[in-house]
Amino acid sequence: MKKILVIEYSQTGQLTTVMDRLLGPLLESGDEFIVHRESLQTIPAAPFPWPFWQFLDTFPETVTGDSPPLQPLRVDEASEFDLIILAYPVWFLSPPPAVTAFLKSDHASRLLRGRPVVTVTACRNMWVMAQERIKTLLLAVGARHCDHVALVDQGSALASFITTPRWMLTGRKNAFWKFPAAGVSASQIHASRRFGQALRQALRTDQEKLARPMLHGLAACTVDTGLASSERVGIRSFRLWAAVLRALGQPGTPLRRVALAFYLFFLIVLILTVVPLSLLLKVALRPFFKQHLTTLKNHLEKPSGSDRSRLPLFDE
Ligand SMILES: Cc1cc2nc3c(=O)[nH]c(=O)nc-3n(C[C@H](O)[C@H](O)[C@H](O)COP(=O)(O)O)c2cc1C
């Protein structure tokens, strides 16, 4: 019998639905596997839908990696698990505060040290920098990161630039005008069962003990190098502004609100001018940097990768 610990954070319940589907094959296997699920929750919990200013004002503390207090976990920290699955959404190119707080806790180092960890994210489409941060935090607690699954919102990047904030700020997820519904598509969520099937097969043959991915060949995560480069520039700007905003005061203070409004204006101008220009430049220069971009893509997609070769084996 193998024991699996699932640590998850999901504000609207989208990632919980993904995990319900992904864990299905393990939960259906009788007493072959014990699955213990823990939902992280900060004190106080973040609101949903978000009031506009509160949404923006969460950015500095999220980016600098503050650790707010968490609701106590139910799991006995002396328990030993064969596999740990950490499921998190992305906030401002970073892990959400609840996840950062957990990974920085003594609890995490006791539960995760020396253990294989699979990470799962479901977000708009910019997860690379957050995942790099998660990898650093996992390394710091001595965990062995073995796989990563990334699901992204349906529609183009331009469409989700409208549909995701609309969902976060109003709670409305439906399709409207020419825009698709917000969030990860139902078909992608349905298909995430393949990861549970592959994990079940791997655990049956002790593959979690080996230093190699169990979810390769399943299109687990696909990096768009154009978006990844924008993320790299974005996170630098976020870190700088997060430090400035924090220096101006606590969340909610008037001076900070004025600076936030200015930064929002600056960001929108940047997104509407510099980002399309730099994307155009990148497309023009792509042939000259083909090798470099392929190496970067392979590196960022590690450990599980975007290869699809095993998809027909897990087709349910
Ligand atoms: C404050 C906040 C910031 C977000 N920032 C990003 C981001 O930088 N990149 C991204 O791909 N998605 C971002 N999202 C979308 C989330 O990753 C995720 O898709 C959404 O919150 C639903 O997840 P959940 O309900 O399972 O928690 C953000 C959401 C929130 C609430």
User: Cα-flanking dihedrals φ and ψ of residue 42, to 5°?
Assistant: -80, 160
CA-closest residue to ligand 1 atom 12: 124
Average pLDDT, the chain: 93
CATH class of 2-223+305-314: alpha beta
Position in ligand 1 atom list of the atom nearest CA 18: 26
CA-closest residue to ligand 1 atom 18: 123
Quick check: 182 and 164 in contact, CB under 8 A? Answer: yes
Residue 274, pLDDT above cutoff 80:
no
Pocket residue to mutate for ligand 1, from 10, 119, 123, most atoms within 8 A of Cβ:
123
Residue 293, pLDDT above cutoff 90:
no
Pocket residue to mutate for ligand 1, from 124, 153, 184, 223, most atoms within 8 A of Cβ:
124
Position in ligand 1 atom list of the atom nearest CA 16: 26
283 pLDDT band, cuts 50/70/90, is: confident
Rounded to the nearest angstrom, the distance between the alpha carbon of 310 and the centre of ligand 1 is 29
Nearest Cα to Cα of residue 217 among 151, 309, 297: 309
11 pLDDT band, cuts 50/70/90, is: very high
Residue 284, pLDDT above cutoff 80:
yes
Average pLDDT of span 67-83? 94
Rounded to the nearest angstrom, the distance between the alpha carbon of 210 and the centre of ligand 1 is 32
Q: What is the pLDDT of residue 290?
A: 85
**Residue percentage of the chain with pLDDT more than 70:** 100
Cα–Cα separations (whole angstroms), residue 270 to 49, 201, 265: 26, 47, 9
Residue 137, pLDDT above cutoff 70:
yes
Residue 44, pLDDT above cutoff 70:
yes
Rounded to the nearest angstrom, the distance between the alpha carbon of 273 and the centre of ligand 1 is 24
Instruction: Quote the CA–CA distance of 95 and 100 in Å, as a whole number.
Output: 6
Q: What is the pLDDT of residue 267?
A: 85
316 pLDDT band, cuts 50/70/90, is: low
Rounded to the nearest angstrom, the distance between the alpha carbon of 301 and the centre of ligand 1 is 20
Residue 275, pLDDT above cutoff 80:
no
Residue 204, pLDDT above cutoff 80:
yes
Average pLDDT of span 169-184? 95
CA-closest residue to ligand 1 atom 10: 124
58 pLDDT band, cuts 50/70/90, is: very high
For residue 228, give every residue at least 6 positions away whose Cβ sits within 8 Å of its Cβ, in sequence order, or none.
Answer: 128, 296, 297, 300
Q: pTM of the predicted model, to two decimals? A: 0.95
Rounded to the nearest angstrom, the distance between the alpha carbon of 207 and the centre of ligand 1 is 32
Residue 150, pLDDT above cutoff 70:
yes
Instruction: Quote the CA–CA distance of 134 and 141 in Å, as a whole number.
Output: 11
CA-closest residue to ligand 1 atom 2: 91
Rounded to the nearest angstrom, the distance between the alpha carbon of 165 and the centre of ligand 1 is 9
Pairing of strands 2-8, 33-39: parallel
Ranges 141-145, 254-258, 272-276, 291-295, most confident:
141-145
For residue 23, give every residue at least 6 positions away whose Cβ sits within 8 Å of its Cβ, in sequence order, or none.
Answer: 6, 35, 37, 85, 196
Q: Degrees (nearest 5) of the Cα angle 313, 314, 316?
A: 125
**Residue percentage of the chain with pLDDT more than 90:** 81
Position in ligand 1 atom list of the atom nearest CA 89: 17
